[in-house]
Structure 1
């Protein structure tokens, strides 16, 4: 791909992570066959400044009945979504007639609070496995991809939505032109489209290169989101930085002229321009830092192997696929990955083929070192795993740089 999926402008490539597998494509141990691989590379649009992948992975390969991620898997994220829902109840969903739609509702953790408050709602979730979990919580869910046609169907049966919300979903969707046409069709005149996704500034500042994987197609900045909203007839009216998932921004978009933009929009736009956030030289410097981080991690792991130290991974996350495959980390350097997700256990990590074992394996016995793939939950995990530290274990982190704690 050489042109921007948003505006058609020219893309300038600035980073290549090589061939990568599906980040959620965990394999059965006796799997014999060909894995799906694609070239994971980044480019920036010269016209609208949107950072995006150079190659698109078909959506049905990533989001389907076997999708393993659960939004409620972290206590931090459960609390985050409960607070988010309560905030909407105080601001946007103040009338019994209000209708809320969540794109990519996953297991329904945000909508659960709205449902308990009696708010009319609908989740749109293409992955049947997690949609079924939401339904068991009493959440109304349509198992399909949201797009213009979906929005028209919902509008016909449910009426306009006062709130359309998405968390860690919009950046996954290459066809945002259809999403915005759908939002235009479904959103009430004075309603808002609110979405939160990883923030490009945090990714660059922390050299958080594992945020780059198949599911993350776009890497939003306030500058690029403002331009995107305007292109589709909307206006960015608020931008709030969030501490979750290693640093995100919650964007609030409304119909043009319907709301007064919050001061934070102009403040963040100015900050991004001062930092030259989406300039090609800045992005190339980021990728040089990525290469250094890769080299430092491999050097450390090989040194520990030579010393006879045991190293296991902690958290078979989607983003760990980028780290393992880009750095060439396999079972020779990391003997297994501990994870609490049942449908990942007993399988092999995509591409790198590291065994995934239950949490109990982590302490039977404790390893000398644990490579923390789930670094965005470091505080929560390290506080929980006090016995590992007491047994002399040490954590390896690679964000914002390779270090041992």
Structure 2
């Protein structure tokens, strides 16, 4: 019988369908001199609510442990993502932010890559970002930032000082937040009567289709689908009025919520809801099949890396991503199978990966000399990375991918 807990959205019964075991914080890279002596571990398991169909973690990690002054992820680290967020800003500037003195609030603005384009257009804005280091980077770009977690009290204070918002936006942020009642109460407090709340996050349908199990880690508390977002919105007087499939981060959906009755839902909403119902996307049987596929990937990846080591091949990893913590710890991949991982983020370099303690090196180490094989943790940026690393391929190097199955390219 699967383990159960109570749903963080509706209070229903959540039934577990996969357990990744003991996991570290995904972005807590370790100082080699301290050897992980103070690492925090928790049980990473995922379940689905039998009432509202929300897929969610079985256990919550305290938010202060994940989002703090030294949080290392930068939204602007990828040229592809910079272009994506600049496109989001242009969309809002030509649609929702065209009235008199428009105002946009971004939850989790990170280093301000989206709001920079809004600020350059002279539009009033505010980023709400709890991770102080990245908030400072945004402020250095001339972006107005409040260092805080967004919740109902925050929203009320922003409304008092700034007035209501035409747009509230969040990218790869809402799924991080277990206390959704306070978030959505804050949205309804801050949003103008005709305004929109737009958020984009990894899509459950793509995660199941691609078996992209590394999308499940401490920072991704919820895995959204149209069905569960619709149910969540209705509990707070909001309505799902549009959905858009987007290709970033291995497959996401951009959801648009408005006050109930304020806007006519697009045909795309009914189409995606019908598709999810037809495939029983959040059904326990569907998700248990997903879990079986995950375990096969684990076994295949460990088998491949073990064989390559026996053959004397040099293997390195590429991209010390947050989601790679799930892969390395679930699969038991340490320095004996993956001697090092290269990453462009200075805050991660010369440290050790969470839990399994793979050394993180600067990008220059990748070509000094090139390995025989590169395990691509940043698979969601595969096209961008492979185009950048043509010399690796020309030198005879091969990429190892594990989504949607283990293969060499």
TM range (shorter): over 0.9
Return 5+ residue gaps in structure 2 as ranges.
none
Is it true that 1:257 corresponds to 2:261 in the alignment? yes
**Equivalent residues in 2 for 1:219-258, closer than 5 Å:** 219-258=223-262
C-alpha deviation, 1:95, in angstroms: 2.1
> In structure 1, what is the Cα distance between the partners aligned to 2:169 and 2:55?
22
C-alpha deviation, 1:35, in angstroms: 1.2
> In structure 2, what is the Cα distance between the partners aligned to 1:281 and 1:257?
35
> In structure 2, what is the Cα distance between the partners aligned to 1:51 and 1:260?
27
Give a deviation string over 1:243-293, Cα, whole Å, max 9, x none: 000000000000000000000000000000111000000000000000000
Give a deviation string over 1:59-104, Cα, whole Å, max 9, x none: 0000000100000000110000000100001110002411000000
**Runs of 4+ that moved beyond 2 A:** none
> In structure 2, what is the Cα distance between the partners aligned to 1:310 and 1:322?
23
Q: Is the 8 A contact 1:71 1:106 kept in 2?
A: yes
Give the corresponding residue for 1:273: 277
> In structure 2, what is the Cα distance between the partners aligned to 1:305 and 1:113?
47
Give the corresponding residue for 1:27: 30
Q: Is the 8 A contact 1:42 1:54 kept in 2?
A: yes
Is it true that 1:95 corresponds to 2:99 in the alignment? yes
> In structure 2, what is the Cα distance between the partners aligned to 1:34 and 1:70?
24
> In structure 1, what is the Cα distance between the partners aligned to 2:349 and 2:84?
27
Give the corresponding residue for 2:361: 357
Q: Is the 8 A contact 1:96 1:119 kept in 2?
A: no
Is it true that 1:177 corresponds to 2:181 in the alignment? yes
- Provide the aligned length of Structure 1 versus Structure 2: 405
> In structure 1, what is the Cα distance between the partners aligned to 2:38 and 2:366?
30
Q: Is the 8 A contact 1:196 1:251 kept in 2?
A: yes
**Equivalent residues in 2 for 1:142-153, closer than 5 Å:** 142-153=146-157
Return 5+ residue gaps in structure 1 as ranges.
none
User: SS of the residue aligned with 1:2?
Assistant: strand
> In structure 2, what is the Cα distance between the partners aligned to 1:250 and 1:184?
19
Match of 2:121 among 106, 117, 123: 117
Is it true that 1:292 corresponds to 2:296 in the alignment? yes
Is it true that 1:210 corresponds to 2:210 in the alignment? no
Give the corresponding residue for 1:162: 166
TM-score (norm 2): 0.98
C-alpha deviation, 1:22, in angstroms: 0.2
> In structure 2, what is the Cα distance between the partners aligned to 1:71 and 1:152?
27
Give the corresponding residue for 1:375: 379
Deviates more, 1:203-212 or 1:32-41: 32-41
Is it true that 1:394 corresponds to 2:398 in the alignment? yes
> In structure 1, what is the Cα distance between the partners aligned to 2:107 and 2:264?
25
C-alpha RMSD of the superposition: 0.6
> In structure 2, what is the Cα distance between the partners aligned to 1:155 and 1:42?
36
Give a deviation string over 1:289-313, Cα, whole Å, max 9, x none: 0000000000000000000000000
Match of 1:130 among 127, 130, 134: 134
Give the corresponding residue for 2:17: 14
> In structure 2, what is the Cα distance between the partners aligned to 1:380 and 1:275?
32
C-alpha deviation, 1:34, in angstroms: 3.3
Match of 1:327 among 328, 331, 335: 331
> In structure 1, what is the Cα distance between the partners aligned to 2:171 and 2:234?
21
Give the corresponding residue for 1:341: 345
> In structure 2, what is the Cα distance between the partners aligned to 1:96 and 1:341?
40
